[in-house]
Structure 1
Amino acid sequence: MPLGKMFDEKVVVNGIVALLATGGSTNHTMHLVAMARAAGIII
């Protein structure tokens, strides 16, 4: 299955929540938002 078909708004939000819940870097969060924007997903 192509990545574009697996990458949707729910996946992005879950990734951001998991990253922040585990004490991840805010820099990674900014990159996830940029990837979502590139995929046409508005958070």
Structure 2
Amino acid sequence: MRNDVLDEIAVRNSVLAEIAVRNDVLDEITVRNDVRNQRRAE
């Protein structure tokens, strides 16, 4: 029973880690877009 709970936590942690990676990617895209928009505005 306890192992099942720990396994579930491990799965959820993996999902959260994947979300964190995707957020980093989205942050990078946002920075690139901001730079592009700044250049266009000049």
| TM-score, normalization by structure 1 | 0.37
More contact order relative to length (CA 8 Å, sep ≥ 6): 1
Structure having the higher Rg: 2
More helix by share: 2
TM-score (ref. length: structure 2): 0.37
